[in-house]
Amino acid sequence: MIDFEAKLERFETLADECDLLGKLSADAAKRELYLRLGQHYRELADDMRTVIATKTPLSPAEYHACRQRPA
């Protein structure tokens, strides 16, 4: 089962870390890279919030079908 809340927290953490690295970087190219990457992680976090807000619980049959799929 996918832990959406854990993914949301991870994306937020990565966004914050990238923003910090971007602000601390003396190299303009690296600064831009980290700030863009931080923005991307924020967008992923926003998407994950949408998923969490709109998801419906799986029925037992759907849950078992998901568990049987090969990885």
**What pLDDT does residue 60 have?**
73
Which string of DSSP letters, residue by residue, matches 2-61? Answer: --HHHHHHHHHHHHHHHHHHHHH-SSHHHHHHHHHHHHHHHHHHHHHHHHHHH--PPPHH
pLDDT by residue (tens digit) across 6-54?
999 999 999 999 999 999 999 999 999 999 999 999 999 999 999 888 8
pTM value?
0.73
Give the residue extent of every domain in the chain: 4-68
